Amino acid sequence: MEKAMLLNELTQGRELTHLLRKHLHLHPSSPPETRHLLLDKILSSYDKALSMLNSISMVQTKPNVSSVQESPGSDASDKNARFKKRKTCSGWSEQVRVCCSGTSFEGLLDDGYCWRKYGQKDILGSNFPRAYYRCTHRYSQGCLAAKQVQKSNNDPTILEVKYRGRHTCSRGRASHFIAATVPSTTEYKEKGDHSRQQQQQQQLEEKQKQSKEILVSFETGLKVKTEDLDNRDDIFPSFSFPVESEEVENGLFVSPATSESNYFSVSPFHMGSFGLCQNVQTSESDLTEIISAPTSVTNSPIVDLDISSLEKLEFDPSFLSDNPEFFY
DNA sequence: GATATTTGACCAAA
DNA sequence: TTTGGTCAAATATC
């Protein structure tokens, strides 16, 4: 499955390159923005492919990449365990990409938990520093959840967030970012589990009514991607876009059977992922539709597009493969 | 005063 | 020796 996705990404990159070439040769007077967008897409596609390769190699070399929380020495509250873990072994296992079309990330980073920043580092080869956060309740409740946030090299509007550990704290905040649970919802669609999916949908709708503030954040433009990860069954319970749901806690939202990327776009300005180019208005009901949009998620490899300015390029991934002649 | 953030230093893995 | 992750003192904010 990952191989197929990888091929898909690489194929997409190749075809986008052809498209760019076509633009350069046949439409030399086309606006430079279009070319830049194509370039961005190509880079994103290869980015994705590379990250897939990385995760695959991680699986091969480290069969057990489970949450660090379960490994000894990861409990930083234990002073004696200080520095025992390091980087690649440290188990940053869940990666989410948050893209903001605006200038502020704060709302998007508010994933429903209380995080406390404890460090920041310049990372070699990265244009932007990486910030380290841990749960505010680390010491009061022994919650070991942590995350690191870094702007993407290729696209500073994208935040790459890696999560580690589970939240064991009793968070007292309203649930946020329902959208984050969407991946699983779409999984159900894929699997044809309609009844369960309907239940999820109802729950989503209820929760949406309870958290209008989320919409404000969404209106600023948000893309969330969960990249796959080997220990999928550990992702969503510890995934830090919480939903106060028994089902979530019990894993109904958990353990997607596939390793496809899950990608969401809920911005009227960023409805750009392949296959998710419907017109969108930002309202609660529409948000629900967006969230449940099946095609956008599993069929859409992460490609950060801003189709708003690239309307002519709207297409579906299947279109790419079904219509290779389009590019020639 | 309590809590959060910043930032230089430290540690250990690579 | 380099570099990522963390600590903790200083500083800022409420």
Residue A122 CA to C4 C1' — how many Å? 9
Q: Is residue A238 within 8 Å of A92, Cβ to Cβ?
A: no
| Angle subtended at Cα A241 by Cα A7 and Cα A75, rounded to the nearest 5 degrees | 95
CB-proximal positions of chain B, under 7 Å: 3-14
Tell me the β-bridge partners of A190: none
Q: Which H helix or E strand runs over A26?
A: helix A2-26
What is the band of A97 on the pLDDT scale with cuts at 50, 70, 90? low
Note the pLDDT tens digit of each residue in A101-114.
444 444 445 567 78
> Residue A228 corresponds to which tokens in the numbers above?
């796959």
Could you tell me the pLDDT band of residue A133, with boundaries at 50, 70 and 90?
very high
Is any atom of nucleic acid chain B found less than 7 Å from the CB of residue A114? yes
- Say which residues have a Cβ less than 8 Å from residue A27's Cβ, sequence separation at least 6: none
What is the structure's pLDDT at A121? 92
3-class SS at A302?
A: coil
Minimum CA–C1' distance nucleotide for A87: C4
Residue A288: exposure state from Cβ atoms within 10 A (0-12, 13-18, ≥19): middle
Say whether the CB atom of A81 is under 7 angstroms from strand B: no
Distance A121 CA to C9 C1' (A): 18
d(CA A246, CA A281): 31
- pLDDT (0 to 100) of residue A266: 34
- The token pair at A268 is 């009227």
Is the pLDDT higher at A265 or at A22?
Answer: A22
- Looking up tokens 């779409």, which residue turns up? A186
pLDDT tops 50 at residue A294 = no
The Cβ of residue A106 has, within 10 Å, a number of other Cβ atoms equal to 9
Query: Which residue type does A199 have?
Result: Q
Asked if residues A137 and A77 have their Cβ atoms less than 8 Å apart, the reply is no
Q: Inform me whether the pLDDT recorded for A1 exceeds 80.
A: no
Residues 223-242 of A with CB under 7 A from strand B: none
**To the nearest 10°, the Cα dihedral for A4, A53, A167, A180?**
-40
> Shortest CA–C1' contact from A140: which nucleotide?
B3
Instruction: Measure A240 CA to B13 C1' (Å).
Output: 28
Contacts of A322 (CB under 8 A, 6+ apart): none
Per residue in A81-93, pLDDT (tens digit) is 444 445 444 566 6
pLDDT tens-digit readout, A200-242: 444 444 444 444 444 444 434 444 444 444 444 443 443 444 4
Q: Is A263 helix (H, G, I), strand (E, B) or coil?
A: strand
- CA A298 to C1' C2 (Å) is 40
A252 conformational bin, left if phi > 0, alpha if psi -120 to 50, beta if neither: alpha
From the Cβ of A89, is strand B under 7 Å away? yes
* CA–CA dist A211, A229 (Å, integer): 29
A81/A69 Cα distance (integer angstroms) = 13
Q: What is the mean pLDDT of residues A116-135?
A: 90
- Find out whether A45 and A12 touch, Cβ atoms under 8 Å: yes
Cβ(A145)–Cβ(A238) below 8 Å? yes
Global pTM value: 0.45
